[in-house]
Amino acid sequence: MVNASRAQLQAQTERMRSLSEEVAARQAAVSTGRRFARASDDPAAARQAATLTRRGAARQDSLAGLEVAGQRLTAADATLGAVTDQIVRLRELALQARSDTADDGLKSALAAEARELSASVLRLMNGQDASGTSLFAGARASAPAFARDAATGAVRYQGFGEPDVIGSDDGTAVAAGFGGDRLLALPDGSSAFDLIDRFAAALTPPIDPAAALTPEERATTLDATIAGAGALVDQLASARASAGARLARIETERDAINAENQALVETRSALTDADLAAEITSMQRAMLLLDASRQTYAQVSRLSLFDQLR
């Protein structure tokens, strides 16, 4: 047995130092609520926690993208609903104009209402989301989707191509808008605006009486308007169905991401959070040992043969 005083002293203080370190580490864990303060305390767990944090951030990004897409699609859906109402109204106007009892006064009133309808549809179709993105201009999202040509008075589509896809390659990508030209396109290549313009023109007596439509021609136009409006309503309904389907998918994705995030947070918490009961128990234990070893050391070191010399 080594009974050399210096070696004894050093070994004892070394043991007490490591006990103090243990107490300090446990105390830090309890006060911060984190199992370790720095990465070097547990490099593997820290690395894994960082990976989980990054994955969580990526999920949050997808969520934010879905949020934008959701807002845009909701706005588009509401707008398309309003446009549908207007087209339905156009059909009613055409039916009224078609009836035999319609006199000139009523017709001009109907024409005036149709022009208002056209302006209203134009305003609706040029709708933007919160950040100024046109809902129906396809890829050309910074410009209004439709504009009235100053020279001809006809409304023309200004957009281009397909709307931007929101989301990344992780399967959350969703097209957040519509190309407005297809929504309001008629089989003959003209648009809803042309249809309204033709309807209004048919009910308005021209300046040159020679250019006035025959009753048969007017009836054809009105029939075409009724048919066109019906087709448009169907078209808009299917677009709204598509928007609804996309919104439903966004909802599903959002739920999935939220559930995944919850799992990520739980896994991360298991890696990094302090188990308070365990921490406090080991702190108590270390403190008890430290106290005991201090007292024994004080007792043992008091024993010396020199004290017995008289």
Partner 1 sequence: MTDLLTIASSALSGYRAALAAVGENVAGADAPGFARRDVRLASAASDPAGPLDAARGTGLGVRVAELRRARDGLAAARLRDAQSTRAALEATHTWLLRIEPALQPEAGGLSPTLTAFNSAAAAVAADPASTVKRDLFLAAADDVAGRFRATARALGEQSRSLNTELGSEVADLQATAGRLASINERLVHTREGSSPRAALLDERDRLLSDLAERAGIEVSEGARGTVTVRLGDSFGPMLVGPRGAALVELDPGTPPGVRIAGEGGSARVAIVGGSIGGLLAAAARAVDATAALNGLAAAFAGAVNAAHQSGADLSGTRGAPLFATTVLAAVPAGANAGSAAPALSRSDPAVPLAPDGYVLAFEGGATGWRLARADGSAEVSGPGPLTIDGLRVEPSGAAAPGDLFLIAEQSGAAALTLGISDSRRVAAAEPFTVVPAAADSSKARAAVVPDASAALPPAERYRFVFTPSGGVEVRDGAGALLAPEQPFTPGTPIAGAGFRLEVTGTPAAGDVFEVASAALTPGNGGAMRRLSAALVGTGGAPGYAEQWDRAAGQLSRAAAGAHDDLASARSIESAARSAQEAASGVDLDTEAAKLIRFQQAYQASSRIVQAARDIFDSILAIG
Binding site for partner 1 (CB under 8 A): 2-7, 10-11, 14, 18, 37-43, 46-47, 50-51, 53-54, 57-58, 60-62, 64-65, 68-69, 130-134, 139-142, 160-162, 164, 166-169, 304-306, 308-309
Least separation in angstroms between residue 303's CB and partner 1 is: 9
Nearer to partner 1, 189 or 215 (CB): 189
Nearer to partner 1, 35 or 218 (CB): 35
Least separation in angstroms between residue 40's CB and partner 1 is: 4
Report the 10 Å Cβ neighbour count for 152.
9
Alpha-carbon span 234 to 61, nearest angstrom: 36
Are the beta carbons of 117 and 252 closer than 8 angstroms? no
* Segment holding 102, helix H or strand E: none
Least separation in angstroms between residue 304's CB and partner 1 is: 6
Least separation in angstroms between residue 18's CB and partner 1 is: 8
Nearer to partner 1, 99 or 306 (CB): 306
Nearer to partner 1, 45 or 219 (CB): 45
Nearer to partner 1, 46 or 231 (CB): 46
Alpha-carbon span 79 to 121, nearest angstrom: 9
Nearer to partner 1, 4 or 277 (CB): 4
Least separation in angstroms between residue 38's CB and partner 1 is: 6
CA nearest 182: which of 154, 199, 159, 149? Answer: 159
Are the beta carbons of 193 and 122 closer than 8 angstroms? yes
The number of helix segments (H) and strand segments (E) in the chain equals 8, 4
Least separation in angstroms between residue 82's CB and partner 1 is: 22
Burial of 187-208, coded b for 16+ CB within 10 Å and e otherwise, reads eeebbbbbbbbbbbebbbeeee
Nearer to partner 1, 2 or 211 (CB): 2
Least separation in angstroms between residue 143's CB and partner 1 is: 8
Alpha-carbon span 4 to 49, nearest angstrom: 48
Are the beta carbons of 146 and 155 closer than 8 angstroms? yes
Alpha-carbon span 212 to 113, nearest angstrom: 20
CA nearest 33: which of 270, 277, 282, 273? Answer: 273
